[in-house]
Structure 1
Amino acid sequence: MNNKVKLLSMCMLSTSVNATQIFMKGSECRLDESAQPIELFTQSSDSIYAVAGRDPSSGQVRKVAGELSDDVKLKLFEMLSTKAQAYPHGVIVDRVVLKERLKDTSKEVNVSGRIVAYPVTTCETSEVITAKNYDMITATSFSGKTQRITFNVEIDPNRNAFVRKSTQVDDTVISQKQVFGIELGDTYAVAEKKVGRFTLVWPLNARQKLATIGRNHALLFENNRFVGYQYAFNLLPSSLANLINIYDINLASHIQGEAIEITNAALSEKMVAAIKSDFSGATFYQEGKYTKEPKTKLSGLQVGEFNVTKPVALSCYKGQSDIDEFVKQHQQSLAQWQNVDAKTVFYTGCNQLVELNKLGKVTSVKLLESWSLSNANLIGLADMKSVLSPWEFYGVRYLDPENKASLIGDIEDFYGTIEVTAKQWVGHFKSYDGQLVSAEFEKM
């Protein structure tokens, strides 16, 4: 786009579209449930001129694609600004998908963009997108205090359950009978009430349920009663841990009548002996083992009985039905957690990560490779992994050849990334040696 034309367009917007605000994704707003979502589409293309008929270089393609992406962001902002005037309290961006492709035997680059936004009724903490920062239409608002995305409500898959929930562990002292104020024998409901919410919940079988707080603390429930707890410095596989929210807890234990922190702290010989006495199976490691002053730290411990028995396979989505209906029907038999963006996600039995928006609707699906169990110490993890199968999505399977991606929709190879466009999905596959290994799909 000509820079003068772009500047003129921005100036016109700044003077004519001021009545209604566009709030950045992640702003703390309450949605107008009576209004329909706003969905918009636009695209932009440009030719690439190569020397002596040669194919353009990757750098040339990326430069043109970058300029077109900026143009598409501006167009989306202009279109949304016009639509937003119908809503006096403004709109919030829910998701934006930009898709790049090469056309006409690598002589033209095309970038298309889709945006979904929701009208709002009020906003408490918010970041506003204007003509001066329109390129932030694809960005997410962060809280200045926590550096985490902020939301007004915690979304349960039940559309009627708009309840504010957050994890809050106030009692960090543990004993042989109690963890975080939760006593052995407490019901799941009582336990959840005491900590606000669990980070991850995994229905293991008809009798057992696993719940974690952050990435290092696991609680086991049997017949709806709290029966065991495990702490481990490396509890979960890194590929799984990286997907869930962090919640750090400095455990403390009563040693000689005083509550003393036992995690993330150097432990004396007396403290180690006291911990071993109170918690059978407690393990330790040496930090700086080969230095002059190595520090002994807690590696893991258990409370109660922590025995995972015969996990069952989680339900798997293969494209056989509408994915929102699949989540609604199978939510009790899926692993669920809060991801690093503070959104609710479900994990299926074939390594699919399903993300929901504020209205409890599916927005994206990630097809993931299997976890590595190295350095992961969660009891029963190997059995849990054994009931997970490789991903399958609309007839495409893990390690299928690249051309099988066409079973989902139209495909294009954009410099090593297999892009897929279908009626309901826009996605990108990653491949290795010509085989599909993982993917990310946005639901349109």
Structure 2
Amino acid sequence: MNKKVLLASLVIFSSHVPAAQIWMKGSDCDINESATVINVFRQHFDSITTLMGKEPRREQIETVATDLLDGVKRSLFEALIEKSEEQGRDLIIDKVVLKERLKDNGKLVAVSGRIFAYPVTACRTKTAITADNYEMITATAFSKKTHTVSSQITIDLNAKRAEQKVTQVKDTAITPTEVFGIALGDTFTAAEQQIGRFTLVWPVNSHQKLATIGRNHAFLFEHDKLVGYQYAFTLLPVALANLINIHDIDAKVQVEDESLAIINRPLSQHHVSALTARYAHVAFFQEGRYTKTPNTKLSELTIGRFHIDEPTTPPCYQGKTDIDLFIEQQQSHLIQWQDVEHKTILYTGCHQLMELNKLGKVTSVKLQEAWSLRNANLIGLASISQVLLPWQFYGISYLDPQSAASKLGKVERFYDTIEVAAPKWVGHFKAYEGQLVSAEFEKM
């Protein structure tokens, strides 16, 4: 941020004496009951310089974020003054929401602010917010009077429904009929009782459900019964695997009198022969095949019947209803997983990634390009991925021209990034050669 420009703007702005005033939350004011709430959003962001591809230090992030926060507060104050002068009335602040986020793989710090205010008919408070103390927009003036703005807090009485179960694989054995204590023929509910929770659950169609533990173990349920299991060294698309939680399991199989660990371990020719004899579907790969001492490792193992029937496309959010209502109605039909930060993620049928908070409410949405299936070995992956459609969002579609971003709200362009601010959403589209390819939005 250019501090000289900031200083100059403050000097210029402080010379202007506004006709109207901005009052802190809780000031002794009378609200104009017939007026609608004033909603103002501002966002500033700046890059972080790192050396040799290293992650930015926390001290760097805090320094940049502090400067940005000051700029956001100043911008919010200036915007309120403009609104106040447009209406010819003083304003009282009701609520301020400030957020700090790292974007672009930690290379960019973004600080956003949204402020809600009401026009007032009269105030008995002595000190107003001015260009000299604009940072006080987040402060509260305490008053003994009763003419203050009240805030309402909605408590979700069903909060317990979002309590997180933890994946705990205590039985690590694999046999031709049972995996981690889950037997072929067991119900999905019985399977979850055995391991706590699955990492990813994909309702493939009306009668089949795919579930994984971590990134390498897949279970296929048909009519609510386990019919097949697959282990693969590279099971999922890289773009998907990087998004879901890691759960390493030291899986073992019984080979003669030996309990043999088989995950990413060198196997002797004797072990390879024994596994091939016991399991109908097993494959191996050579690690370091061109070295003097190559290792043979397990690449895939399947038990039961693993066949995906014709898949159906999960629902896609079009923006026609409230997004939390969409989740409430469609959650059981969406792809769901736990990410590396143990947050609940929902994935729609048009590559929309939705992050939920602990109460099951949407906090952010990412619009993503299709996954590359290269080197992913999940049986039926090509079929179930093919039904996923390019993303859509409030009438904007994948590969639309950059100008389409304005359908959602007010836009500002920064090279190949288009910042969008709307009443319910704020975020950025990424563009390539003039076309929209991805986006990330926060719900306000």
TM more than 0.5:
yes
Q: Return the offset for 1:308.
A: 0.6
Residue-by-residue CA offset, 1:125-177 (whole Å, 9 max, x unaligned): xxxxxxxxxxxxxxxxxxxxxxxxxxxxxxx9964414341011111110100
Residue-by-residue CA offset, 1:173-229 (whole Å, 9 max, x unaligned): 101000000011111101011111000000011111000000000000011101100
Alignment of 1:41-440 (within 5 A): 68-71=67-70, 96-97=99-100, 112-114=112-114, 159-440=159-440
Partner amino acid for 1:399? L
Q: Return the offset for 1:45.
A: 8.4
Q: Return the offset for 1:72.
A: 5.5
- Indicate conservation of the 8 Å contact 1:65/1:111, yes or no: no
Residue-by-residue CA offset, 1:283-314 (whole Å, 9 max, x unaligned): 11111111000000000010100001011110
Partner amino acid for 1:261? A
Partner amino acid for 1:69? L
- Indicate conservation of the 8 Å contact 2:98/2:113, yes or no: no
- Indicate conservation of the 8 Å contact 2:210/2:220, yes or no: yes
CA distance in 2, matches of 1:219, 1:398: 32
- 2:126 corresponds to: none
CA distance in 1, matches of 2:178, 2:371: 31
Partner amino acid for 2:70? D
Query: Secondary structure of 1:194's partner?
Result: helix
Q: Alpha carbon RMSD of aligned pairs, Å?
A: 3.3
Residue-by-residue CA offset, 1:234-267 (whole Å, 9 max, x unaligned): 1000011111111011221001122110111100
Query: Secondary structure of 1:342's partner?
Result: coil
- Indicate conservation of the 8 Å contact 2:100/2:111, yes or no: no
Q: Return the offset for 1:42.
A: 8.0
Name stretches of at least 5 consecutive residues in structure 2 with no aligned partner: 5-38, 46-62, 75-96, 104-109, 116-155
- Indicate conservation of the 8 Å contact 1:395/1:407, yes or no: yes
Q: Return the offset for 1:426.
A: 0.3
Instruction: State percent identity of aligned pairs.
Output: 55
- Indicate conservation of the 8 Å contact 1:69/1:98, yes or no: no
Q: Return the offset for 1:113.
A: 2.6
CA distance in 2, matches of 1:221, 1:45: 48
Query: Secondary structure of 1:186's partner?
Result: coil
Q: Return the offset for 1:44.
A: 8.7
Query: Secondary structure of 1:205's partner?
Result: coil
Partner amino acid for 1:71? D
CA distance in 1, matches of 2:248, 2:158: 29
- Indicate conservation of the 8 Å contact 2:98/2:112, yes or no: no
CA distance in 2, matches of 1:220, 1:95: 44
Query: Secondary structure of 2:406's partner?
Result: helix
CA distance in 2, matches of 1:285, 1:114: 54
Query: Secondary structure of 1:296's partner?
Result: strand
Residue-by-residue CA offset, 1:270-293 (whole Å, 9 max, x unaligned): 100111112122111111111000
Residue-by-residue CA offset, 1:38-69 (whole Å, 9 max, x unaligned): xx9886989xxxxxxxxxxxxxxxxx986631
- The structure with the largest alpha-carbon Rg is 2
Distance verdict in 2 for CA 1:44–1:314, change over 3 Å: closer
Distance verdict in 2 for CA 1:231–1:73, change over 3 Å: farther
Query: Secondary structure of 2:389's partner?
Result: coil
- Indicate conservation of the 8 Å contact 1:158/1:360, yes or no: no
Output the TM-score relative to the length of structure 1. Answer: 0.68
Q: Return the offset for 1:399.
A: 0.2
Please list every run of at least 4 consecutive aligned residues from structure 1 whose deviation after the TM superposition is greater than 6 angstroms: 64-67
Distance verdict in 2 for CA 1:73–1:296, change over 3 Å: farther
Partner amino acid for 2:373? L
CA distance in 1, matches of 2:191, 2:179: 10
CA distance in 2, matches of 1:246, 1:162: 21
- Indicate conservation of the 8 Å contact 2:285/2:296, yes or no: yes
CA distance in 1, matches of 2:189, 2:417: 45
Q: Return the offset for 1:99.
A: 11
CA distance in 1, matches of 2:227, 2:157: 27
- Indicate conservation of the 8 Å contact 2:233/2:300, yes or no: yes
Name stretches of at least 5 consecutive residues in structure 1 with no aligned partner: 3-39, 47-63, 76-93, 101-109, 116-155
CA distance in 2, matches of 1:432, 1:380: 31
Partner amino acid for 2:68? S
- 1:56 corresponds to: none
- 2:58 corresponds to: none
Q: Return the offset for 1:415.
A: 3.2
- Indicate conservation of the 8 Å contact 1:317/1:393, yes or no: yes
Distance verdict in 2 for CA 1:275–1:433, change over 3 Å: same
- Indicate conservation of the 8 Å contact 2:417/2:431, yes or no: yes
